[in-house]
Structure 1
Amino acid sequence: MSFTNVAEAVEAWIHGWTVSRGAAEPAPQPWGFTVDVGLPGHVVRHVLPTTDEAAIRKITETTTAAGVWLKAPVPPETLESWLAPGWSLAGGPGFLMSAPLRTARTEAPTETADGYRLRTWTRAGITRALVRTPDGAFAARGQIVVTGATAVVDQVETDPAHQRRGLGRLVMRTLVAVAAGAGATTGVLAATPEGQALYEAADWRVLAPLTGAVRS
């Protein structure tokens, strides 16, 4: 399958994201979804699959509790202009990205030529990939959740001391292979500007901006 519009991709992303983060099932709203996250500073998250200025203004005007987040496929400068007092952008620009998942990729090695070691495991529907240095320190990681025909990649990161060594690509290749083997045909993720280059090199494409805001 492939997404027919941005709203469909956002919906697929938030359903996989909640599994990945151990959050509650997204509760449907007239304008999108509300998710109970349950963390200090991130209690609830509202997710809008479309560019709905009226809904964003109403949500931010009527929300006074701290730790409420909002995510929408809107550029940062636009979203910021719609926020009520007390709200601010959460982080920099973000991007909703997608790619077809190809089953023909070769299986990732468990050890690289320079001694990095890769381990993967799956629990509660989440597959994690961890790369460690030859002496066992953290180097890179990522995880993926398969929800039917789609898979959501989450929390891919590489330690700054180990960047530009192909570890991010190794993690992505590993996760995509697992998801494709489980029957997923389309991947979706939320990227930072730093991650965007990694994903584009692996043939992912930007579908829309994806910007966050938080009530302080």
Structure 2
Amino acid sequence: MHFTDTPDAVRAWVHGWARSRGAGEPRPRPWGFTVTIGTPGNVMSHVLPTADEATVRELTSGAAGPGVWLKAFVPADSLAAWIAPGWSLPAAPGSLMSTALTAGSFRTPAPLPAGYRLRTWNHGGVVHARVQTADGTTAARGQTSVDGGTAVIDRVETHPAHRRRGLGRVIVVALGRAAAERGATVGLLASTAEGRALYEATGWEVAAPLANALRGPSPADAGERQRQRIGAATSR
């Protein structure tokens, strides 16, 4: 199974991503999908398989509270020029990436450094992977949602204290193997700019650019204001 164009890939990705996050089923819209996440920093996400200036301007000009995200598979410069006042691009642009899960890199496990162990388990149809230290501390993690021939890999991260040891590769390969064992032949994921090199090293390829816009202050700005308030209160 292979996707012939970006909109098809995005449609498959958004359903797997929503399932991975435990969100509601993506609601179809004339321009794409809305996924309700329900957390303070991510109330909902609007996902546009195709995006143009008129659609983005109309969508972002409507009433929306803070914590609403817009995901568009276009260059970040384009999205930045289209969004209405009150929206920002709080993170570096990323990519939608794909791979064939029968690739050689998924046939054998990635080497696990001494002192670590890998755990995988299935919960609610989502396969989770953890690399842990001897005392049970989580050093790296990730998960994947499989639907038919497509797997969406999500939330891959390595704790800063355990980076540059190949643990991210262990997680990605373990999830790819688990997905292939469940019948998936194509993998999809949304990568940050920082994570792109990891995925490319394990056989993933960029399918489309991905830019994210946020309504209201960015999480970093909100955190800084909170620290300033705490500092002001402490000094009084």
> Shorter chain as normaliser: what TM range?
over 0.9
User: 1:8: which partner in 2?
Assistant: 8
User: 2:190: which partner in 1?
Assistant: 190
Structure 1 stretches of 4+ moved >3 Å: 103-109
**Which AA in structure 2 matches 1:115?**
G
In structure 1, list runs of 5 or more residues that go unmatched. Answer: none
Question: Quick check: 2:128–2:143 contact (8 Å CA) kept in 1?
Answer: yes
**CA shift digits 1:41-100 (9 cap, x unpaired):** 211211000132211110001133221110010111110110101000131111000000
1:158-177 to 2 correspondences below 5 Å:
158-177=158-177
1:23-172 to 2 correspondences below 5 Å:
23-102=23-102, 105-106=106-107, 108=109, 112-172=112-172
SS of the aligned residue for 2:81 comes to helix
Q: Identity of aligned pairs, percent?
A: 55
TM-score, structure 1 as length reference? 0.95
TM-score, structure 2 as length reference? 0.87
- Taking a change above 3 Å as real, the CA distance of residues 145 and 60 of structure 1, as seen in their structure-2 partners, is same
Which structure's CA Rg is the greater one?
2
Question: Quick check: 2:103–2:203 contact (8 Å CA) kept in 1?
Answer: no
- Taking a change above 3 Å as real, the CA distance of residues 113 and 209 of structure 1, as seen in their structure-2 partners, is closer
Distance apart, 1:39 and its partner CA: 1.1
Moved more, 130-139 or 192-201: 130-139
**Which AA in structure 1 matches 2:201?**
A
**Which AA in structure 1 matches 2:9?**
A
Question: Quick check: 2:112–2:170 contact (8 Å CA) kept in 1?
Answer: no
**Which AA in structure 2 matches 1:81?**
A
Distance apart, 1:175 and its partner CA: 0.5
- Taking a change above 3 Å as real, the CA distance of residues 103 and 84 of structure 1, as seen in their structure-2 partners, is closer
Aligned residues: CA RMSD: 1.5
Equivalent residues, number: 215
Distance apart, 1:36 and its partner CA: 1.3
Q: Measure the CA separation in 1 of the matches of 2:7 and 2:141.
A: 28
- Greater helix content: 2
User: 2:213: which partner in 1?
Assistant: 213
In structure 2, list runs of 5 or more residues that go unmatched. Answer: 217-236
